[in-house]
Amino acid sequence: MRIKLTNILIVFSILFVILSSALSSFYLIGFSPDFLDYASHYENTRQGLDFIDQRFEPVYYYLVAFFSSVVHLDFNFFVFIILIFSISAKLYAVYSWNYRKLLLFLFLYLNTSYIIYDIVSLRVNLSVSFFILSIYFSLRKKHTPFLIFLLLSIGSHYSSLLLYFVFLLSFNFRNKSKFTLMTLAVLLYFTSYLLLELALTLNINPLLSIYVTEAEKAPDIFSFNNLFISFLFIVLFSFFDKVNENLRVLWLTSFYLFLISNSLSSAPIIYFRYIDPSLLMLIIYIVSVKNCYGFRVRYYFGVIGISIFSIYKVISTLYLNPILNSSSYIV
């Protein structure tokens, strides 16, 4: 029975990856505010743009150089390949943790509009995909592939450095008391906020000033989204000590990224860069729990809760606050 079920899931997943990637690459990408920037960089690289003359990270640049100058692919086909890889990486991790929840992950992934964020933030998406693979191998004590994907992630977008800091922090604190974990959460929130204010005051990085110029688009930390997700975190935290260590790391990484991103909400570009992987990690955590050890009511509340949120998210994205009509966030 398991062989039959897994075969069905694999075939369905392959079809999902191909169809969703094709739809995004050849239709949705044209509406992305960053489309022209990425397409222009792709064409310039095809014509011989050197690495030192552009501002993108080395892994992304050399991928572009390979597919544009060596393989001679059209830009849309390049995006198609990136999306196939990124979605497949997430599916691989979920399948390995709990193959029975693969369809639930696909449902949540599609309804939370992550496919849209994947094409809007192409480099960040690539970096997060490498990050997911690296922590998957790290939690299975496979250090060589962990290091390889870590370097690929950082080389795709430097913002993943914070992702790894939070992951390593979560890994080291996974067996601490709940009081210690919450104390650390408070420290992370206020430390992140103060560091951002200090960096702005000292003008450490000119890009930060650009990020803050988008402050009118700063998310409300007391919005329905944040309050609902915060309540969901609390519910799932109630059986935190009943799940295995690997799942604790996933929950902590998601929770701490959620707090850090909200502490940086005055710079919306930074906020969105970390809130998306935070919620992605939360979804992976929920679908990866195999045995709730007598806490099924709270677990299924979490599943239903994130499902309701995902439907709300896709409605708000497409109708209330369309991301595809926002200004360019390419950084």
Q: Is residue 296 in a domain?
A: yes
Q: Which domain holds residue 176?
A: 2-325
Q: Is residue 292 in a domain?
A: yes
Instruction: Tell which wins on pLDDT, 96 or 303.
Output: 96
pTM comes to: 0.83
Task: Give per-residue pLDDT as tens, 17-44.
Answer: 676 666 666 665 555 566 778 888 888 8
Mean pLDDT value across residues 158-180:
93
Q: Is residue 331 in a domain?
A: no
Beta strands in the chain (DSSP E): none
Percentage helix, strand, coil for the chain under 3-state DSSP, each rounded to 5: 80, 0, 20
Judged by DSSP in three states, 28 sits in helix
Nearby residues of 98 by Cβ (< 8 Å), 6 or more positions away: 287, 288, 289, 290
Task: Give per-residue pLDDT as tens, 101-136.
Answer: 777 777 777 666 566 667 777 888 899 999 999 999
Using CA atoms of 218, 221, 224, 226 in order, give the dihedral in degrees to the nearest 10: 110
Looking at the structure of the chain, the number of domains it has is 1
Judged by DSSP in three states, 72 sits in coil
CA–CA dist 86, 71 (Å, integer): 20
Instruction: Tell which wins on pLDDT, 103 or 213.
Output: 103
